[in-house]
A and B are shown apart, each in its own frame.
Chain A
């Protein structure tokens, strides 16, 4: 049905490709053990594409946010395993690569509206966190450099807010869960902690509640209706002459 040649956007420019290689110099990487020569300086993702791979799995946002391209690697003759995102990590010579496009880690289903943020809430839903042996392998495998073991320890102690804070930058790639000797699903645990904190622990905005009531009582309907009915010149004037807060007080924030 969908043939390969139909999706090519432009004719390949082989000369250009040769120039790129010449300019950057090539290095050797091993994709699941198979050798390819690729230009230096590319990310793992772009290097694989350069070699001729077309992604279906293992590729998402291409900018470090989605956790689709978790990659495990080892440089030839080195002891240590490396963990990173294919879209962010630059290839190195003699790198042996394998991508992990899926993580089998069941998420517990819950109704957040029926939970209470007590010291034991997380433990009750994910009891296996109590089996943490403090080996810190999860932290070492996190491509975001999150202190994964620390937030699990906080979760065990029932410190929901702290667990949520430490884990906040988690992109849910699942490398932690794949490496854990205690079979903890860290990224699901921290998801629960963050929702509990956002919903129950953080103080809510009074301004928002007030504005919501105003909108519901249709306070702004007629004002906006007036703008919609205004002629072009009128609305242009209004727009042009509106006061810009950032200009008067400087940018916002704290």
Chain B
């Protein structure tokens, strides 16, 4: 196969059409869709609305609700921990506040709990991989906050609520919109290098489904820059962190309060009993479950553990009948399939095009609608199919330099340019091929404005929580989410800690859960949480022995 500039000949032919029609495409933009046509395309092409992707849950507090198959599989699996294996009489860590997850939400929570008076040696962050290994680090596009004179938090609220199809918990959407300016100001104090104009005002872009340009960015490394600052602050404070120690299950006491958890050392296979007066669940999302068989943009550790553990203790879940597929996952070259190309590329003016070089959708619809339109175009045979059989549509990235001036792509999308350059593709000259990829867990453990869950002593923040975004999250609102609710969880958990008294520790909830499974006549073949995904080659697995 002859490859020119990173693309095989037949793809280059299609690129020629894209180039010929570029000027015309830029001068005649496609209009946003009506609510009715949005609904139509969603119902036909979005996995949330398709048959076979979901089923009814047969066990626990949310019994009878419909969730994605992959989530039900794990909720109906056997709890991974056998209470008989654990000696609760020996406490390895005795703290006021246990934070599960060392990503954005968890780290922000620790900082604000400390500021709210919890001594740092009474805070413990446990995390599956390294501190900072999280989806937060990977967010590229930016963070929303309504701070321009043309904008206001009310409009931000309306975008969040409408984008979520009016299914969000209104008080959570309100907190997200109203806390946003304060968060950006906190970032200024930390030293986050936001993209600014010369006068110090932020360069703010549009995002899918937002009515004002309010996306603040740090080139296309926005999440990394936020996380680097937040983590550096935690490190300067010597905030205690246990790395490579995911939580296997949560602990309760005999009064029905949450009382900590059992951590599992991935390298020595030991468990640790952690007793805590309050626990913040900040375990992130579940992209690595590959729901509806989608590739994912997510971090290696994003296996939905928090949902499973919280459900085992009786916390309820929201909106897990939806997933966010991001319209612009990479479809070519093969090693990049599923990896994200940031929404910022469209925010800067690039238009999606089919194989004939024709536009077919307003570039900045909400993510679910944009994705469904891409899938429809490919199902109609107007996508480009890669040599490995992956369909995709063009995202005409060179438009960005034409609109904003040469060099814009290099400076504002440095990460993207670098990624494609490794494979001989120059996105400043040629379009890139994209197809929807599994990106975000819209729902999760239900919280209120104080990030409290149904279980006393259990707080949740960030992607693991449910209710903030309803059934669809808008771009730029997840970086905002982990900051807003991470902060709130730290503050409210610190308050809770002052009064909390923990009783006798127990893992009885696991025995109870096993009984419920039995009563529901479920014979689990798997156990959960799964902690890490399984990507070993099938040949190797088929020969693996469990003797060592």
Contacts and interface: CB of A to CB of B under 8 A. Distances in A.
Contacts of B403: 250-251, 253
A204 interface: yes
Contacts of B178: 215, 220-221, 224
Contacts of A247: 31-32, 362
B404 interface: yes
A32 interface: no
Contact of B415 (A7, A12, A14, A65): A65
Interface string A198-215: 111011111111011001
Interface centre among B82, B202, B244, B536 (most CB of A within 10 A): B536
B528 to A, nearest CB: 9
Contacts of B94: none
A17 B537 contact: yes
A220 B190 contact: no
Interface string A1-42: 111111111001110111000000000000000000000011
Contacts of A60: 129-130, 133, 137, 299-300
Interface string B103-131: 00000000000000000000000000110
Contacts of B53: none
B20 interface: no
Contacts of A242: 155, 158, 211
B538 A238 contact: no
B150 A245 contact: yes
A236 B166 CA distance: 8
B264 A8 contact: no
Contacts of A8: 534, 541
B193 A253 contact: no
Nearest to A110: B236
A144 B223 CA distance: 17
Given A60-B129, A111-B236, A205 B196 contact: yes
A107 B228 CA distance: 13
A240 B157 contact: no
B538 A227 contact: no
A208 B184 contact: yes
Interface centre among B135, B233, B335, B531 (most CB of A within 10 A): B335
A188 to B, nearest CB: 9
A142 to B, nearest CB: 11
A52 B221 contact: no
A209 B400 CA distance: 31
B419 A1 contact: no
A137 interface: no
B190 A195 contact: yes
Given A17-B538, A18-B539, A208-B184, A109 B177 contact: no
Given A49-B536, A245-B211, A251-B347, A211 B419 contact: no
Contact of A212 (B80, B185, B299): B185
A72 interface: no
Question: Interface range on chain A: under 10, 10 to 19, 20 to 34, or 35 or more?
Answer: 35 or more
B340 A63 contact: yes
Contact of B196 (A203, A212, A244): A203
A14 B347 CA distance: 43
Contacts of B137: 60-61, 65-66
A50 interface: yes
Interface string A166-203: 00110110000000000000000001001111111011
Contacts of B225: 168, 194
A14 B129 contact: no
Contacts of B419: 64, 88
A151 B150 CA distance: 38
Contact of B349 (A46, A221, A239, A250): A250
Given A62-B299, A168-B221, A169-B414, A239 B158 contact: yes
A89 B149 CA distance: 45
B6 interface: no
B536 A53 contact: yes
Contacts of B339: 62-64
A183 B267 CA distance: 29
Interface string B171-196: 10010011001101100111111101
B200 A196 contact: no
B212 interface: yes
Contact of B535 (A46, A144, A194, A221): A46
B203 A253 contact: yes
A194 B189 CA distance: 12
Contact of A7 (B145, B340, B532): B532
A18 B542 CA distance: 12
Interface string B18-40: 00000000000101100100000
23 contacts: A4-B544, A8-B541, A9-B534, A55-B300, A61-B138, A62-B300, A88-B419, A107-B232, A111-B236, A112-B190, A144-B418, A169-B219, A172-B228, A191-B228, A197-B191, A202-B193, A212-B147, A212-B185, A215-B178, A239-B158, A242-B158, A251-B347, A253-B203
Given A203-B196, A236-B166, 12 more contacts: A7-B532, A17-B539, A64-B418, A66-B299, A88-B422, A111-B236, A202-B200, A223-B152, A223-B154, A245-B211, A251-B206, A252-B206
Which 9 residue pairs across A and B have the least CB separation, nearest first?
A: A52-B540, A203-B200, A195-B191, A252-B213, A199-B191, A198-B191, A246-B206, A239-B162, A12-B538
